[in-house]
């Protein structure tokens, strides 16, 4: 698929989102009602109408630092486009902890539950806007670099459409911030454990083809850094055959194959889980691609990005359709940062060994997973516990 095909597909889908986004002003009444139902005053869990509007235009709400917002978005774009995962998780960490929106939402758990859930849904869909933009840029870039397995990405995307639409329809307006953070942590921690196993000798031994392809790719990059000219596009993903039961392709001389039925089912399950916690699903797709499909990380990132792109557009559309509210000025600034990070990511990933990409994934997974499980189910912050 050429670059213009990606842009045509995405533009058509984004036009659909724009139509839904046009109804956002009508949702102001829903937000106004939630604010009116909250107790008035200057205390915790109250609305102080004498203060200027902050997030979502709520009087006295947190107003994220614009410089911090931009650079965190750059980091989100870089990590997603480099690893093919954790963009949504890092976007969630940014909205929940770094920018302080999560702490603000948590204040209304008992005093204004409707407002609590509205802000939680806004966090969920905002995460996905960031990941969707990064996934678009990463998909185009990795396709051009010959590191996107398009048939596999399409199979995953086919399953993700149903899961991405269904979960917002079932859960929008029904999830409290505390429950959201707790489940967020459980999913991330579980993936960290799986990926940790993948970095052990036993886990690596099971992926001989992936290691062989990764070694060939890294050797080629080393030659190029020494000044040797290599046609990397010719060595990239080349589809060999496509049948209803088997897709076969090569990458740097190593042959891979898969049954398209399994990615479709995997795409549905992954999209359902990731849509619930408001992330892209790359943190689930990457282990699926490396552990079940046996791909090296260099292919997992681009293939994951394409599947995430389709899932994000579907999920965002569903969230907006269900009445989730977006703080557009914040999203606009974050999108700029995402573009910068997503352009840098694929160009720097080739200099990082495959095993270190996995280890980076593991470190992030364990910290975020443990922190949010504690925060959601125990009410404790990991950093505060570590610092005493």
- The per-residue pLDDT for range 273-327, each reduced to its tens digit, is 877 877 777 767 877 887 667 777 778 778 888 888 888 888 888 888 777 888 8
- Asked if residues 122 and 326 have their Cβ atoms less than 8 Å apart, the reply is yes
- Count of positions (residues) in the chain: 388
Specify the 3-state DSSP secondary structure of 327.
coil
Could you tell me the pLDDT band of residue 180, with boundaries at 50, 70 and 90? confident
Q: Is 343 exposed, middle or buried (0-12, 13-18, 19+ CB in 10 A)?
A: middle
Give the mean pLDDT of 105-112.
89
End-to-end CA distance of the chain: 54
* Mean pLDDT estimate for the chain: 79
pLDDT band of residue 9 (cuts 50, 70, 90) is very low
Q: How far apart are alpha carbons 133 and 334 in whole angstroms?
A: 10
The per-residue pLDDT for range 222-246, each reduced to its tens digit, is 777 777 777 777 777 888 888 888 8
Query: Which pairing describes strands 246-251 and 254-258: parallel, antiparallel, or unpaired?
Result: antiparallel
Please give the Cα distance from 165 to 379 (Å, whole number).
Answer: 31
- Confidence grade of residue 177 (pLDDT, cut at 50, 70, 90): confident
CA atoms lying within 13 Å on the CB side of residue 378: 11
Q: Is the pLDDT of residue 5 over 50?
A: no
CA dihedral of 115, 325, 22, 316, whole degrees rounded to 10: -140
Tokens describing residue 299: 């292919």
Range 136-142 average pLDDT: 82
Confidence of residue 172 (pLDDT cuts 50, 70, 90): confident
**Residue 16 to residue 365: CA distance in whole angstroms:** 34
Query: What's the whole-model pTM score?
Result: 0.74
Number of Cβ atoms within 10 Å of the Cβ of 246: 11
Task: Look at residues 371, 386, 336, 383 and name the one whose alpha carbon lies nearest to residue 185.
Answer: 371
């Amino acid at each position: 698929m050429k670059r213009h095909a990606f842009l045509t597909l995405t533009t058509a889908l984004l036009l659909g989102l724009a139509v839904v986004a046009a109804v956002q002003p009508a949702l102001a009444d829903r937000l106004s009602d939630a604010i009116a139902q909250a107790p008035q005053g200057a205390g915790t869990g109250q609305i102080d109408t004498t203060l200027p509007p902050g997030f979502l235009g709520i009087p006295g709400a947190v107003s994220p630092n614009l410089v911090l917002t931009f650079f965190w978005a750059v980091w989100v774009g870089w990590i997603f486009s480099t690893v093919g995962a954790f963009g949504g998780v890092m976007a969630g960490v940014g909205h929940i902890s770094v920018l302080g929106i999560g702490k603000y939402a948590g204040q209304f758990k008992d005093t204004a539950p409707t407002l609590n859930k509205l802000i939680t849904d806004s966090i969920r869909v905002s995460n996905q806007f960031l990941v969707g933009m990064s996934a678009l840029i990463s998909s185009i870039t990795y396709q051009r670099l010959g590191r996107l397995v398009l048939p596999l990405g399409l199979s995953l995307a086919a399953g993700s459409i149903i899961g991405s639409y269904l979960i917002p329809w079932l859960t929008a307006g029904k999830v409290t911030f505390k429950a959201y953070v707790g489940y967020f942590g459980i999913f991330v921690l579980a993936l960290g454990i799986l990926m940790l196993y993948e970095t052990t000798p036993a886990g690596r031994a099971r992926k001989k083809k992936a290691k062989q392809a990764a070694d060939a790719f890294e050797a080629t990059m080393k030659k190029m850094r020494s000044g040797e000219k290599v046609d990397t596009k010719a060595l990239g993903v080349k589809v060999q055959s496509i049948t209803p039961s088997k897709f076969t392709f090569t990458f740097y001389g190593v042959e891979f194959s898969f049954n398209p039925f399994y990615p479709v089912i995997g795409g549905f399950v992954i999209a359902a889980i990731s849509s619930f916690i408001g992330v892209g699903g790359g943190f689930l797709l990457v282990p699926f691609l490396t552990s079940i499909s046996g791909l090296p990380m260099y292919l997992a990132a681009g293939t994951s990005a394409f599947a995430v792109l389709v899932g994000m557009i579907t999920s965002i559309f569903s969230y907006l359709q269900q009445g989730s509210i977006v703080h557009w000025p914040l999203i606009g600034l974050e999108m700029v940062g995402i573009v910068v990070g997503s352009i840098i990511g694929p160009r720097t990933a080739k200099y990082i060994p495959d095993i270190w990409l996995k280890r980076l994934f593991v470190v992030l997974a364990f910290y975020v997973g443990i922190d949010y499980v504690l925060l959601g189910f125990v009410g404790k912050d990991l950093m505060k516990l570590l610092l005493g």
